[in-house]
Amino acid sequence: MTEVLIATNGYKETRYAVEYGAWLAQTMRMNITLLGVTESLSPAAIDDHHPLEDIFEKAVGLFRERDVEYRLEVQKGEAEEVIPQKANSGDFIVVVSPLGRPPIRRWLTGRSIRPLMEKIRVPILYVPQMRLPLKKMLVSIGGLRYAEATENLAFRIGAACQAEVAILHVVPPADLDYPSAREVWEHADDLIETDTLPGRSLRKGLELARQAGLTARVVTRKGDVVEQILAEIKEGNYDMVCMGSPYSAHSLRQLYAPNVTAEVAESAHCPLLTARYTPE
């Protein structure tokens, strides 16, 4: 049975993960494991009140209020190492928020969601801000199978709260000398009617959403992928965005392809769900 794994290192903004994870567990009828990571403290702070204590106290009250089963666990170490180790040990949906890293570290390596996405093999729900109730979802697919796992999970969550779903495909600039690329570009407005790979993916996604009982529609945009996804999130005022993981690819592609999902997660002001695709 899938559980919700909520992770916190005591940083104040991880309260978003706690609150959202509690809502998700109640909505999806799942149990919760709350993982607290005790990271290195300065010698002067060793005897101080640890921030994890406040987070845990408020979390337990919230879990009881929502009537969800939970258990508590505390581990020592670096959050970017401890969280993936725990996540990969079970059947979890991992709920995380920003971990409060210093600006220089974020500038050098990006936000903590990047190493977590790289190391965690189970679905991740990244919550930089609270957006509840969940009424509108954006599911962004790239025309490949990598988004299938995210689609399936997103539609399950959407069905549980009867959210409206928009299925997005962005047509990027391409070398129009390729017939397939030219057809996709020229038919961006009616892409779902074509026999192209993106067209077939959109039809399948729309069918799956409707089978789940959801009100769903297709949206297509043209241009830079990250910019267009962020523009759609803003214009559509979505409560959650769902995207595939670049680490679904078992090839060298993930080493040189841009991590679109991480870039969107770092800039979007709403929760982002991502899951790796695993071939049958």
- What is the structure's pLDDT at 252? 42
**pLDDT range class, residue 172, cuts 50, 70, 90:** confident
**Nearest one of 187, 222, 220 to 206, comparing CA atoms:** 220
Check: CB of residue 125 under 8 Å from CB of residue 272.
yes
Query: Does 256 score more than 50 pLDDT?
Result: no
Q: Which residues contact 23 (CB under 8 A, 6 or more apart)?
A: 66, 132
Structure tokens belonging to residue 178: 């390729």
Q: Does a structural domain hold residue 131? A: no
Same domain, 97 and 179: no
Looking at residue 249, what is its pLDDT?
Answer: 56
Between 14-23, 186-195, 240-249, 264-273, the lowest mean confidence (pLDDT) is in 186-195
Q: What are phi and psi of 191, to 5 degrees?
A: -60, -35
pLDDT surpassing 70 at residue 85: yes
Q: Which range of residues forms the domain containing residue 240?
A: 136-275
Q: Give the closest residue to 82 by CA, choosing from 51, 40, 41.
A: 40
Query: In the prediction, which pLDDT does 46 show?
Result: 45
Report how many domains make up the chain.
2
Residues 162 and 204 in one domain: yes
CATH number of residue 115's parent domain: 3.40.50.620
Over residues 200-211, mean pLDDT = 91
Are 185 and 158 a contacting pair, CB within 8 Å? Answer: no
184 and 264 inside one domain: yes
Both 154 and 266 in one domain: the answer is yes
Average pLDDT of the chain is 87
pLDDT tens digits, residue range 28-53? 999 999 999 998 755 444 456 678 99
The model's pLDDT over 114-134, given as tens digits with 9 standing for 90+, comes to 999 999 999 999 999 999 999
Task: Indicate if 171 and 270 belong to the same structural domain.
Answer: yes
Which pLDDT tens digit goes with each residue over 91-103?
999 999 999 887 7
Residue 155: pLDDT band by 50, 70, 90 thresholds?
A: very high
Give CA–CA dist 135/193, Å, rounded.
27
Do residues 158 and 44 both lie within one domain?
Answer: no
Helix (H) or strand (E) segment spanning residue 80: helix 79-87
Same domain, 70 and 195: no
In whole angstroms, what is the distance from residue 20 CA to residue 110 CA?
A: 23
